[in-house]
Amino acid sequence: MRPVLRWLVLVAFATLALQLFFVGRIALMLVVAPQSTAFERSEAWRLLTSTDQSLRWQQEWVPYSQISDNLKRAVIASEDGTFTNHDGVDWEALEKAWQKNEKAQERAAKQAAPTKAKTNAPPKPPKVIGGSTITQQLAKNLLLSGERTLLRKGQELVLTMLLEQLLDKQRILEIYLNNVEWGEGVFGAEAAAQHYFRKPASRLSAFEAARLAVMLPRPKYFEKVPNSGYLSSRASTIVARMSSAELP
């Protein structure tokens, strides 16, 4: 029993040390802008190892006041309408996403049954709806790997709560907008504004901001299809919602 007990103690100690490390990292973000995120570092490595060309990277930190309110409102309207009111997790949205995913899996299983009987091929997995808040997305991108496991999801929730406790909503949104991906090697609001519209993030119009917000779930895809009808249509919908988006 002693080796097992010793192992459990070591695991508990390592877990506690990791959480304290995260607390220190997040607390430091009160005054110091993060130089990079875990997601950015993994993307930089992917780009460096997947091409013989030099790394194309666009990112420039700008303070909250130099990011257009249009973009702040557009991102909140598109990604997290209750951002200023929840405690980091929108439990109602999460429950709805869970229900939609269950229904999608049931439909996919029924549709795949005849095909599987003929070809014995595994069914194509349905599109999974996330329901993540801006704070959850920031927690995942800042400090976690891209793997999808229950353990990583649990750690994401812990980090989300830490972010909400240690930082205010304005700082959370500022860090998010300066580090979120907007294309291949394009990170942050300033880089996105310059890349797509040749202007600073402070001067984005309502429709330009809405187009950027709509890109967020699939930035690399929409970078390749800038004239997408869906992009324009969805952007118009977001513009109509922006007036009701509350800023921190």
Q: pLDDT tens digit string along 42-65?
A: 988 888 887 656 678 899 999 999
Instruction: Note the pLDDT of residue 119.
Output: 57
Q: Helix axis angle, 2-28 relative to 150-166, nearest 10°? A: 40
Calpha distance 239→181 (Å, rounded) = 21
> Are 101 and 126 spatial neighbours (Cβ–Cβ below 8 Å)?
yes
- Beta partners for residue 187, in sequence order: 181
Instruction: Note the pLDDT of residue 84.
Output: 93
Instruction: Note the pLDDT of residue 44.
Output: 87
Given CA atoms 43, 218, 112, 149 in this order, what sign does their dihedral have? positive
Structure tokens at 165: 């406790």
CA atoms within 13 A of residue 103's CA, in its CB half-sphere: 7
- Beta partners for residue 181, in sequence order: 187
Whether the predicted pLDDT of 131 surpasses 90: no
Per-residue pLDDT tens digits for 5-32: 778 778 788 888 888 888 888 999 999 9
Instruction: Note the pLDDT of residue 125.
Output: 45
Instruction: Note the pLDDT of residue 5.
Output: 78
Alpha helices of the chain — where are they, by DSSP H?
Answer: 2-28, 38-50, 69-79, 91-119, 134-143, 150-166, 169-179, 189-197, 206-215, 219-224, 229-242
Instruction: Note the pLDDT of residue 64.
Output: 97
Whether the predicted pLDDT of 173 surpasses 70: yes
| Mean pLDDT value of segment 170-179 | 97
Calpha distance 59→67 (Å, rounded) = 14
By CB neighbour count within 10 A (0-12 exposed, 13-18 middle, 19+ buried), where does 134 fall?
A: buried
Instruction: Note the pLDDT of residue 126.
Output: 43
Of 138-147, 167-176, 219-228, 237-246, the range with the lowest mean pLDDT is 138-147
Q: How confident is the model at residue 187 (pLDDT cuts 50, 70, 90)?
A: very high
């993540």: which residue's tokens? 132
Average pLDDT along the chain: 85
CATH class, range 36-86+168-248: mainly alpha
Whether the predicted pLDDT of 124 surpasses 70: no
Q: Could you tell me the residue ranges of all domains in the chain?
A: 36-86+168-248
